[in-house]
Structure 1
Amino acid sequence: MVSPQKNNSETTAPASFTSADPTRWWRMWWRSLSPTRQDRLAALAPLVSVAFFMAAIIAAFWYLRAEEVDRDQQALKRDVEYAQQRVRLRLLERQEQVMRIARDLAYGDIGTAEFVNRAEVLVTQYPEMQVLTWVDRDGRIITSYAAPTVPSEQLRMPGEKLQHDEAAQSFQSVKESNHLVYTQPPVRAGYNPPLLQFHSPVMGTSSFGGTVMAEFSLDNLMRYAIPSDLLARYAITLSDGQGKLLAGTPLTPARIKTNWHTLAQPEATEYQIAVSPVGSDLTLKAQAYRTSLSMVGNGMFWLVAAMSLLTAWLLMGTWRHTRKRLRAQDALIAETNFRRAMENSVLTGMRALDLQGRITYVNAAFCQMTGWDEKDLVGQMPPYSYWAEHDYEYLHSKLKDELSGKTAQGGFQVRVRRKNGSMFDARLYISPLIDARGQQTGWMSSMTDITESKRIRDQLAASHDRFTIVLEALDASVSVAPLGSAELLFANKLYRQWFGSQTTGHLQLVQQGGLPAERSESVDDEDGLMGLPTDSLTSASSNNAEIYVAELGKWLEVRSRYLSWVDGRLAQMVIATDITQRRMAEELSARQTEQAQTASRLITMGEMASSVAHELNQPLTAISNYSSGMLSRLEKGSLTEEQMRFALEKTAHQAQRAGQIIQRIRSFVKRSEPNRTLSQVQTMVDEALELANIEMRRRNVRLNHFVAKRLPPVMADAILIEQVLINLIKNAGESIDQAQRPATQRYVELRVVPKETEGQAGVEFSVQDSGKGLPPEVQERLFEAFFSTKNEGMGIGLNLCRSIVESHQGRMSAENLYNGSEVVGCRFSFWIPLAATQEKGDNLSTVINPNTRNPA
């Protein structure tokens, strides 16, 4: 019966003693903590209690110190206000005396001599008054009296005028307002002791009569106006409105209490107030220096503080020692757990042998690899159960080398037999096993399954062989060499056939193709390492060029690219392809194009033959008429010398005209190589119009033209551009004939103006006619070769025109002109860049393909 009652009381006890017995609750909470946490709390508790005790001491000290500083501040404020009243009263007394002199001057009661006498009395009687000056209404000094202590630089001479200084500005202010003015000139470096200036106006019965200017010494004012007991207790100074020191010697700025060292030092308290009637331009400032150490000098306080610090230091040392021991214990546990986890999770098999070759330890990975359990392997002597039977002799020799210390750094490869009889390839690494005393107790072996890596290595070798076969069979030369080195890293079969096995051919291709191969630190977009572009190697674009190799007698297209070689070096790969046949085809095509251009000019002149004959008939008829007229007059004897000279000049002019027409036709149809020169636009237009006008007059078509002034030159073949203009004008005239326009609507307009296209400056040529325009089906095939809308046309005119324009890096287009929905004409236009733009493009193409002509 007793036992059940006891059990019931124990089960119901926690609910009652939780609040009634805090000590028991504390013991239960303490026991629930881990030993590590108990150690930490036991070490921290004394430290926390000492910290609270020191905080209480410091708080009490700060409270008492604040009370003491507040009392001192109130006393300082009262004393400074008292000193300010003394200075104010003394200034008001001097002000009243100066105003009395100004009033007597205004009423004419005193003159210059009396002013000097009264000024001398004031300066002698009151040390703060240094100078007394009478200034007339124009700012000119009438007379002045100064104390003997005033430096000569500050003396004012009679007749001198106040100019460009603070006194002149104050005088002007008094003159404008007729009020008293105090002013404090700014303190200058190297200037004499500052003086406070006071200006009192001299007001007559009707107008302003000048001022009486008094200058006070601030040092004397402070010395004689402020009681000596205040000067003994405080460092008193006078400052201007900007805070610059005028009189007195200040103490150092008040210290900020940041550590225990400065707590023992007295601090300076200060208070400042403006001095009336001067105002904010003059400030009285006092600084009090504490000499009593008060609570700071209390020995008991410092004794308690020192003992608290010593206790805290000892507790801190004990706590740090405990923490270090706990950290070492935690590190040992963590290291053990880490090594156990690493041992169980590592994929490398670990095996330990003693000095006799007995297996003493295997990890889980070793057992998993071989299929044998740890209890089966530990304690075995060679031959081990995982050895392959046909490798016993080889493995015994390796084990003998291992036990004798002859181990290879890179390990060795073995065949391992699993428990199920299957085999796998492995690599063993051997290292000595050293105990804590530095003695070797055996050998540690690590085994890695290399079956998959060996398979991949075999595949890579086969892939390399295939890749080499492909490169060797290429119809292009491939070579790789590091930048700035004469070593050839790779060369395929064709390269070796052309250049041998040296880097001479590689460097020749790089140099002749203008490809970068050396370090260049002068270019901003290149890296300082081997002159490579700042782009990554994988994104850097390749360079290419077409060169002629005389030794081979071949044209080669050379391409290069930067790459990172297998050993990490930066290298350059050069691929050279034989393009001799292509170059020959391009040259043949260029010759055929040239012949087509000449044929087109001949066809054009053939179509214009009747017009040219008609044009030549006029000068020839005129020559015949002039000759017949002179002969008939000679027979009659009526031909004078003047008439003969006139007739001969006319005949010569007509002959020259006929010769020019023939010469122009010959130069137009003459077959010649393309020759781009710096040509003036106006000259090309004039020569084209000279031939085109013949055709237009035959067709009764009016040819208008407009050429913009001061057009820059273009780099062009003038004959080819004239051929394009003549062809377009002739086509425009034919379009007008086909449209059968009336005489008022038969016109062709040529306009030449500057125009910017795609950011490039150039010149636009446009030929506009009043024909019936181009049908939609014709516009789609307008520039196709051998397409023509004329029955007798060959269809090469516009195609050649566009080819000529595009060879000059230009553009050509055609469009209909509309009046509402009605087609009222057509406009052909082409654009050619200026000479500077073309030269830039030519230079760029030369860099990319520097050898565009056959060197032969």
Structure 2
Amino acid sequence: MQQRSGRQAGARPGEPWALEPPPDRGRLDLLSLMPLLAIVALLALVGAAVWIAGRSETEQLRTKLATDALWVEQTLRFQLSVDEDMLARLALDEAGGTPAAVLEARARSHIAANPEILSIVWHDGAGRIRRAVPGPAETSADDALATQLLRIGPRARPAYALMDGQTVTMGLRPQGAEGVITATVSLPLMLERHIPWWIAEQYAVWLLDGSGAVRASRSRGTPGADSPSHTISFDPPIPGAALRITSYEGGAPFTRAFLPAAIAGLAAFAVLALLALYRNGKRRRAVELRLNEEMAFRRSMEESLTVGLRAKDHAGRVLYANSAFCKLVGWSAADLVGRDQPMPYWAPDRLDETLRRQRILAEGGDVPQSFETRFRRSDGREIDVQVYEAPLIDAKGMHRGWMGSIIDITEARRAARHAREQEESLARTGRLVTLGEMASTLAHELNQPLAAIASYAAGAANLLAQGRADPVLLASALSKLSHQADRAGQIIRRIQDLVRKREPRFTTLDLASVVRETAGFLSSDARARGVRIALDLSPVAPVLADRILLEQLLINLMRNGIEAMGEGGRGDALTVSLRAEPGGAVIEVADRGPGIAPEVADRLFDAFTSTKAEGMGIGLNICRTIVEMHRGRLTHRPRDGGGTVFRVALPAAAEEGVAAE
């Protein structure tokens, strides 16, 4: 079996596909320790992660607390600076001579917009109250601050007194003024109005004096004893004041929530690891059994293949050969596996070619390749084979050599040669049929110009016989006769082009002139059959077409309609219409003949299909060929009231010219 599979039991370790030495049974089974090692490592990682996460969250809380405290401090400072600016404007306006009523109105307006301002008081040079808004001052801090400012002298910015209960007073004596203006601010109202709700939901905010006593606060409850807190000085502007902001959260919520869950998870993991270890041993024995069965099954499939399989390394040495390959070349696996090139099945007359191909294969990288060559069997008979070489990739993803799939194509080549001989025979027969079609086409297409030539010749002879040989009439008849003769020659050349499948000669044409000329050519034939040709021509864009081929197309369609109406139609007018459509033009030839039978309609344009008793069945086939040469479309449909409508759609010259180029 080792010879059939292409593996040698005595191969050295490190060689491609060599068997590795069995493991030492006394070595410690690391697989059984893996769950314990995983648990220990996971405990360490979880502990470190909890510590780092808790520390990080605590630092983030402290940073956020400090940032929010600074925001609150800046907000309150800004509001007090607004009040200071208001006080400075009132003092300057008074010094500038603004009436008292205007000053009081401005003061009331500011108090209405900023309710934390309880009162604004004006003092004279002796410290007495001259006026107050909204009424008399209720605190002694106004008088004390006014007296102090009168003693100190003028200032550029307002000065603050010490906090008096839950209020603080600011005052200003500007340069050149005799009196002092003071304002009393409610600290609780200031915190209530200017600390937003989202700050109050997260923190308790206190305003402290120099002794640490709370003078004002905004909170929704009492924070815990271990809640983080941050204190920031609020002096200036208020002497001895400080802001304290305390979070309602007692610690890192992540740590409190995660630690119990982590412990429970580790315990569950330990139990699951033990169960997994037990199930792993059970599954391992079952998998080993299935592996042996799969290996036997795959070996059976390899030996049952009819395609030869051969593996070789980069040096060309055979590593594996299945039984189909051995039968193909007539050599056993023992004769081939491990053998260096040249191989015994290589054809001697192709030895150099085979060696060159092996070098190209080795230098070409891991790219699949396919080629045909010839092998010589052990009995000396040569066979043609198709070889598909694919990269041989091992379990580690390394390119170790090439895996070849070899198919015997000797019989296929013999059948291909026979098929080529049959095709050549059919081609000769086809050329004979083409000659017959060309002769029939000549007879069919030349009937019109030859009939016209005969008609013009007979007319000229009659004129000469009657002695009325008018030179003008004779010149006109002979000119038309010459034109029809030229036209017959052009028809022959075009039919030859069709047979030889040469490209037609395209020029820009006016479809209306082509339709009129064709109708005039057939008018005498139509009158003889009692049919009138009615034209309905609308302006259309020029088309890129061969004039002779279009005339042949219209003659065939209009003549078929005339003949159908002459055999017993329902009217006397053959209608030829021309109209524009998006991207091109449409010609419709509508007759009042008996129509087309349903059993013939689907194959009407096929060769040798005709609805006329003596028709050859090639006219409409030629018409379709002409329309397809012009990249158009030829269709037909029944006409309302009886008859048939043939529709020719042709692209405009601008679009068709691009395709023709």
By the TM > 0.5 criterion, same fold? no
TM-score (norm 1): 0.36
Larger Rg: 1
